[in-house]
Structure 1
Amino acid sequence: MNRGKELAEGSSSPGGSDPSAGQAVTPSRYESQKRRDWNTFGQFLKNQRPPVALSQCNSNHVLEFLRYLDQFGKTKVHLQGCIFYGQPEPPAPCTCPLRQAWGSLDALIGRLRAAYEENGGSAEMNPFASGGIRIYLREVKECQSKARGIPYKKKKKKTSDESSPSSNMPFS
């Protein structure tokens, strides 16, 4: 009986048990956060002047949403003129703005990307998966790493030669 509602809300029963057997199904933390993020984005679109229908949403709306969220950030990002620019742990407070951390934005976009498709959007038209969003996230990451003095480096993949210590030894 409740199964249709749970499917519509994006939750599933753990372990394949029947939710009508009296057990309450609690969505995972990820599913709950994804639903909250999706509802927040939907409210953001409704509050636009004029309101934007989800079917009309594009990557520009997503970028506006990310910029809007910046005002609620908790990560100090030093401006280039700040004496603490590039210092990961400045010795004193400054007036530089608080912003959303890159990692938080990246995770948010991942959840919204999944929610878009779960709510009937096509993967090909997903505004959260556009190149413009990837570029924006990359720029935020680079800007924050410079401003906070925190290098983000890609991890190198190990080649098959590096994984085995004896592979470099000649046979005797």
Structure 2
Amino acid sequence: MSSSGKDLAEGSSSSPRDYQPQQQSSPATLSRYESQKRRDWNTFGQYLKNQRPPVPLSHCNCNHVLDFLRYLDQFGKTKVHLQGCMFYGQPDPPAPCTCPLRQAWGSLDALIGRLRAAYEENGGSPETNPFASGAIRVFLREVRECQAKARGIPYKKKKKSSNPSKDNEESSSTMHFS
């Protein structure tokens, strides 16, 4: 990817002020999460601007979000075996294959969580948040299941250690956004 393409993918801006709202010597710098959320938000905004015709954020819907997620797949680093591949369903294939690289489900899930929060922080209503759409949850669940089958790795919810008395047998289809 070219330098400008990489900048776009990372959501960089021409103004250094955009990255540092306060002086670096100030104790209140952005956390890694907040910085990533800002980059993701800028990248999504740039993606909408680059559509033909450009899509204003006020007209953005879950279909634009789904198209964005599919667009990001080309930059993925996770090998996802196709059903006809001899390594389909094998967690540790013994040799390389020509199957495509995709965005990992966990990366997409985290991205949607950050964009959902950014949408509301930038004035969007929770009721109209395209990142909170049921279609997005279905898409992410399908990606998770497809990738787990293709890689031969069953998906298991991580147990939360912060509340040991809580029942850890939650449904794997339940989605929590932060």
Which of 87, 92, 106 is matched with 1:84 structurally?
Answer: 87
Residue in structure 2 matched with residue 73 of structure 1 by the alignment: 76
Q: Which residue identity is paired with 1:153?
A: K
Which of 32, 46, 52 is matched with 1:49 structurally?
Answer: 52
Q: TM-score, normalised by structure 2?
A: 0.75
8 Å contact kept, 1:76–1:99: yes
1:120 aligns with 2:123: yes
1:23 CA displacement: 2.1
Residue in structure 2 matched with residue 143 of structure 1 by the alignment: 146
Q: How many residues align?
A: 146
SS in 1 for 2:145: helix
Provide the alpha-carbon RMSD of the alignment: 2.4
1:11 CA displacement: 8.8
Higher helix fraction (1 or 2) = 1
Distance 1:155 1:45 in 2: 34
Distance 1:11 1:116 in 2: 20
Residue in structure 1 matched with residue 106 of structure 2 by the alignment: 103
8 Å contact kept, 1:87–1:147: yes
Kindly, what percent of the aligned residue pairs are identical? Answer: 81
1:26 CA displacement: 1.6
Distance 2:59 2:69 in 1: 18
1:23 aligns with 2:49: no
Distance 2:103 2:159 in 1: 27
Query: In the superposition, relative to structure 1, how do residues 147 and 114 fare at CA in structure 2: closer, same or farther (>3 Å)?
Result: same
1:152 aligns with 2:133: no
Q: Which residue identity is paired with 2:125?
A: S
1:38 aligns with 2:45: no
1:12-57 deviation line (CA, Å, top 9, x unaligned): 9xxxxxx79x625320000000000000000000000000000000
Distance 1:44 1:141 in 2: 24
8 Å contact kept, 1:11–1:31: no
1:143 CA displacement: 0.1
**Unmatched segments (≥5 aa) in structure 1:** 1-8, 13-18, 162-172
Indicate the structure (1 or 2) with the bigger Cα radius of gyration: 1
1:153 CA displacement: 2.3
Query: In the superposition, relative to structure 1, how do residues 78 and 116 fare at CA in structure 2: closer, same or farther (>3 Å)?
Result: same
Distance 1:105 1:54 in 2: 20
Residue in structure 2 matched with residue 15 of structure 1 by the alignment: none
